[in-house]
A and B are shown apart, each in its own frame.
Chain A
Amino acid sequence: MEREPYFIPMSAAQEKNQISRFLTINEKTRRFGLALTEEQALALNEAKKGALAANGRLELIPGTGVIEKIIMAFCDSVYIGQHNYVETMEELLEAFYYFKNETVDAIGDDDLIQFMRRRFDTVCQGSVELLLHRELETLAYCVKHQISLEEYEAQEADDLENLEYEGME
């Protein structure tokens, strides 16, 4: 039996409102040398829709501010400048929704963004590639196998140490 769900898409007014909200973020990000044009804000919004669709996810309350949260978390990174601002945000959005699935929604939006932010500037040195394929993969592994990240990393460090020790012998 074919059944149809009922969901109302975001209205044009809501969308316009969301774009203008992005633009107000410029006031906060400008001091880090980052600003979005209206065109870029639209592009980011489209990227979010694309990331949601590509990862088979539905935003429950349209415009709840994932883009704003990511921008605010990452805007002070030394690895993000105006030249790669939109591109990096788009990649982070894609990574965010991908890992919401991979971590089976066990981690809330804010915690996941905070994790991404911490790793991005430190161990990843601004590489979204590393963030995606190493850090977030590790996080997803830990969530799926119900082990803590600290436990996993301690084990990894031990293994590495043993490997180095064996090499010396």
Chain B
Amino acid sequence: MKTWNTKAWNENQLDTPDQIPAAAIDETKYFQSLMSYCGEWGLLDFQEIQGLFAALTEITVKQCLQYNGTDSSSIPLDLAKEIGEGVLYTVNYCLEMMGKPDKALAQLRELSLADVYRQGKSLLKALVNKTKQQYLAMLSHKPEIDSYTYNSTMQAGISGFLKLYDVEFMPHQNTATMDYPLAIGDLPLSGITFLNRYIQYIHYENEFITLFSPWELKSILTKYDPLYGENLTNMVDAVVAVVPEVRLEGFFAELSPNGRAYMARVVQKENIKGTAHKYGLRL
């Protein structure tokens, strides 16, 4: 059904690495920005792009019909849009996992969009399983803190998200809000990629705060915010603000490389906020 413009492909020698700069691709709109770039630079012609968008519509229609489950020939527009978002999210995830935009384009050339979608769905399902494992691992090392927001997010929030998460039809949706904020700030992600990253960052934050004894942490938190147990107080923020920088340097040295890199980003954010410190970390 698909007829690729192989002439344009060869002329542009896209099989050499990095012909499409990664910066040209908006990761939150991978497919759209890849199509836009390829259209602009003649890597795909109009018909090819139109064909890919038509294939996307076809997948969405199939998903809608499957979702309906009855002999309905129509569906509420809002629901169709949501299902369409889910299809796009799945395709985007598959393409993003290719690593480089060139590889993503090669994938689109080699496979039909329906295959890319199927592959994306398998990858997402694998990510859901991985996230569940990471969640259980994180829970087993969770610090005991008398913070309602923290505890309810770690227990009911995350498990609720995983229970309600619909990888089949609504993979882009956040099925529960994570009330406990990250020290790094809001994540520009959604669906399971959001939750996976959130758990990963919480793990780094836990790694840092468990370097403090429970009574020491409690005293730091009380000093930072006497109502920390009820407020949306991030514990890492509290520690960074309260603990003298000379002591913090020692704690950072004890972290894993990933944990240290994460804390470097947090501290960088703190610097932006005006709490300037130098912790001997490469920012």
Residues of B within 8 A of A100 (CB): 72, 74
* Shortest Cβ gap from A92 to chain B (Å): 15
Which of A31-39, A61-69, A72-80, A127-135 is near enough to bind chain B? A61-69
Q: Do residues B60 and A6 form an inter-chain contact, with CB atoms below 8 A?
A: yes
* B201 CB within 8 Å of chain A: no
A109 & B71 in contact (Cβ 8 Å cutoff): yes
Known A6-B84, A58-B80, A60-B61; contact A110-B53, beta-carbon cutoff 8 A:
no
* Central interface residue in B56, B57, B74, by most chain A CB within 10 Å: B74
Interface string of B60-74 (1 = CB under 8 A from A): 110011001011111
Question: With a CB–CB cut-off of 8 A, which chain A residues contact B73?
Answer: 59-61, 64-66, 109
Contact call A3/B71, Cβ cutoff below 8 A:
no
Q: Tell me the A84-116 residues at the B interface (CB within 8 Å).
A: 97, 100-101, 105-111
Chain A residues with CB under 8 A of B68: 60, 105
A8 contacts B54, C-beta separation under 8 Å: yes
CA distance A66 to B70 in the complex (A): 14
Q: Are A101 and B76 in contact (CB under 8 A)?
A: yes
Looking at chain A, what size class is its interface with the partner chain? 20 to 34
Q: Which chain B residues border A118 with CB–CB below 8 Å?
A: none
Complex CA distance for A58 and B68, rounded to whole angstroms: 12
The reply to whether A56 and B81 contact each other, CB–CB distance below 8 Å, is no
CB-CB under 8 A from B56, the residues of chain A are 6
Q: Are B77 and A56 in contact (CB under 8 A)?
A: yes
Contact pattern, B 155-196, Cβ under 8 Å of A = 1, otherwise 0: 000000000000000000000000000000000000000000
> Is B11 in contact with chain A by the CB < 8 A criterion?
no
Cβ contact within 8 Å between B70 and A107: yes
- Residue A52 interfacial (CB < 8 Å): yes
- Report the nearest A residue to B78, measured CB to CB: A56
Chain B interface, number of residues (Cβ within 8 angstroms): 26
- Contact of B75 with A58 in the complex, beta carbons under 8 Å: yes
B45, CB-defined interface residue at 8 Å: no
* Docked complex: A1-60 residues within 8 A CB-CB of B: 1, 3-8, 52, 56-60
CA distance A56 to B77 in the complex (A): 5
Question: Is A7's CB under 8 angstroms from B78's CB?
Answer: no
User: Is residue B237 within 8 Å, beta carbon to beta carbon, of the partner chain?
Assistant: no
What is the CA–CA distance of A101 and B54 in the complex, to the nearest angstrom? 27
- Enumerate chain A interface residues (CB-CB to B < 8 A): 1, 3-8, 52, 56-61, 64-66, 97, 100-101, 105-111
List 10 A-B residue pairs with CB atoms under 8 Å apart, sorted by A's residue number: A5-B80, A5-B84, A5-B85, A6-B84, A52-B74, A56-B77, A61-B73, A107-B70, A109-B71, A110-B71
Extra A-B contacts (4), CB below 8 Å, given A58-B64, A60-B75, A111-B71: A5-B80, A6-B84, A6-B88, A109-B73
